[in-house]
Structure 1
Amino acid sequence: MTKTCLIIVDGLRYDTAVAECGYLAASVEAGLARLWKMQACLPTISAPLYETIHTGLAPVDHGILSNEAIRPSQRPNVFSQLKVAGRNTGIVAHSYYHTLYGGSAFDPFEHTEINDPDQPVPFARYYSMEGYSPENSCMPSDVDLCAQTWRIADDHAPDYLLLHMSACDTLGHWFTADSSEYRIQAWKSDNALSRLIPRLREAGYDVLVTADHGMNADGHHAGNQPCLREVPFFAFSETITAEASSVLDQRAIAPTILSLIGTDAPDTMTVSPLI
């Protein structure tokens, strides 16, 4: 059984991660982590893929197909399975995750901070980005999100901890994936992670770093371009055993997390874990 932290860098393309994320690349070079290319499911839209990552089902199977149609998860997922198994979970993430896994639609005045063992996710810090636009990106600092993640890890030691960072996606939308702003933000996210991941590893966590989808030259994502479907999958774990040349299936993340923590995957998760 291994405590596990999944980090989702929203909108981070595989090629951008390889080119710009110097800390993650250095960790691979030093043998502290391994890197694979992973293929995201379709449509390459955030909320559908948050649900894919946690249910092991493609969007056409779990039924969430757009950000505008988000609702509480109706399928067995990482959070529900761990709750039944008596395990603890924590989240630092966009408010969509509360709607999906927190038991109700997100209310910023009620759900921004949760510390309640009876809740579906007992320890959580959510951000809304309400009013986000090209004139006001409303994105939280990656370092602040990493610090909040560490506080939950250090104070509560959840078996599963999720960190979701939105800045790459935000700047990709406003400036496109071909911009210096997007590329530099990929490095800034990586730089923040260089201050968090060593702490998590020292605290006994396996750490997985990936993205929900990529970004294209139009500042958009949803379709079937390689730049949208090819995302990185970094594993700070001695247990992940996929072949180095494999292109991994995004649906394998959920059963892999449950396997690392020592909990059985439900029958709905049909893709084999990466273990």
Structure 2
Amino acid sequence: MSGKVILVILDALGFEAAVENCGWLEGLVEAGQARRWRMRSCLPSLSAPIYETLHTGTPPALHGIRSNDHVPLSKGPHVFGVARAAGKRTAAVAHYFFSELYNRSPWEALRDAEVDDPDLPIQHGRFYSERGYQKFNLHLPSEHDLCVRATLAIRRHAPDYLLLHSFSIDAVGHGYGADSREYRKQVWMVDNALAEFLHLWTGAGYRVLVTADHGMTADGRHGGNSEAERLVAFYDVGHPEGGVAGETVSQLAVAPTILKLMGLQAPPEMTEPALG
């Protein structure tokens, strides 16, 4: 098997919120065009540590990214590096933490916000920050704009691996809590944007994986060990066996699954089997 893969990370989208509000993704599951797993995140259930887990297949206690307060360059091996070493093209439309983890750290916006460099692990990157955001003004790019950028990356560069990361659910969740109309509406809006663009990506030959780094509590936090913080959904759009998987799987399986779909060998550090 050798193919092109898109990983969509919907930051802070908890499992129940996904199932209840992502009508498009759930419709694909119901129609047998996607398979959905319940997935348990690693600890701490924070963004930067889990971004690294999703791309190295190792837990934070092993890879060493401990919090969002300090984001050094990844020690790898990671999906971007393995793909580039194999001659694959990589791209990302994502929060700047991914630039710090896989390209250069610390982040320098005027140097790193847009990159097209074949020597970098993320060769074609378009990165954003949430600098200065407040509850009354979240300063976030719209999901439509993020999907447009991802689609343009596909048309211009045809990456073998593309990361698309949306931060808005997390920002709204911190501001209003997961048990709020604002959070639920934002989940739906992200799903609605995917409904507009996902068929373009699958039509271009991509296998599309959609998941979250962690969930969100009713009082607007994450980082701990509760089910609300740790349980997320994992959708595989284009899986030959659609529907709902019965088991709860580990987040450590994401990186080896991406590499398997690309026809690449997972390094020995990625000990969790790929999802089948």
**With structure 2 as the length reference, what TM-score do the two structures score?**
0.97
Change (3 A) 1:239 1:83: farther
- Report deviation, 1:177: 0.4
CA deviation after TM superposition for structure 1 residue 210, in Å: 0.2
Secondary structure at the aligned position of 2:236 is classed as strand
Aligned to 2:106: 105
Aligned pairs (5 A) from 1:251-262: 251-262=252-263
Q: Distance in 2 between matches of 1:34 and 1:243?
A: 6
Equivalent position amino acid for 1:225 in 2: S
2:13–2:212: 8 Å Cα contact kept in structure 1? Answer: yes
- 2:41 alignment partner in structure 1: 40
Alignment length (residue pairs): 275
SS at match of 1:114: strand
Q: Secondary structure at the match of 2:133?
A: coil
Match of 1:81 in 2: 82
1:230 aligns with 2:231: yes
Structure 1 stretches lacking a partner, 5+ long: none
Displacement of 1:136 in angstroms is 2.5
The reply on whether 1:134 has 2:129 as its aligned counterpart is no
Q: Distance in 2 between matches of 1:112 and 1:239?
A: 37
| Structural mapping, 1:12-51, within 5 Å | 12-51=13-52
Stretches of structure 2 lacking an aligned partner (at least 5 in a row):
none
Letter in 1 for 2:173: G
1:53 aligns with 2:44: no
Q: Match of 2:245, SS?
A: coil
Aligned to 1:11: 12
Shift of 1:120: 2.1
Q: Which amino acid aligns with 1:108?
A: A
CA distance in 2: counterparts of 1:241 and 1:177, whole angstroms: 28
Deviations 1:83-131 (CA, angstroms, capped at 9, x unpaired): 1111110000000000000133211111111122222211110001111
Supply the AA of the counterpart residue of 1:199. Answer: L
Q: Is the 8 A contact 1:240 1:274 kept in 2?
A: no
Q: Cα offset for 1:139? A: 1.1
Q: Which moved more, 1:131-140 or 1:36-45?
A: 131-140
Q: Equivalent residue of 1:12, what SS?
A: coil
Deviations 1:186-215 (Å, cap 9, x if unpaired)? 000000011121000000000000000000
The reply on whether 1:271 has 2:275 as its aligned counterpart is no
Give SS of 1:247's match: strand
Q: Match of 1:187?
A: 188
Whether the 8 Å contact between 2:35 and 2:243 is mirrored in structure 1 is: no
Aligned to 2:9, the other structure's residue is in SS state strand
Look up the match of 2:217.
Answer: 216
Q: Determine whether 1:146 maps to 2:147.
A: yes
- Equivalent position amino acid for 1:45 in 2: L
2:174 aligns to what?
173
Q: Is the 8 A contact 1:241 1:274 kept in 2?
A: no
For residues 29-53 of structure 1, what are the alpha-carbon distances to aligned partners after superposition, in whole Å with 9 as ceiling and x for unaligned?
Answer: 1111111110000000000000000
Q: Tell me if structure 1 keeps the 8 A contact 2:32–2:242.
A: no
**TM-score normalised by the chain length of structure 1:** 0.97
Partner of 2:121: 120
Task: Provide the C-alpha distance between the structure 1 equivalents of 2:253 and 2:243, rounded to a whole number of angstroms.
Answer: 11
**Separation in structure 2 between the aligned mates of residue 80 and residue 180 of structure 1, nearest angstrom:** 40
Q: State the alpha-carbon separation in 1 of the partners of residues 197 and 178 from structure 2.
A: 26
Counterparts of 1:60-75 in structure 2 under 5 Å?
A: 60-75=61-76
Aligned residue for 2:208, secondary structure, equals: strand
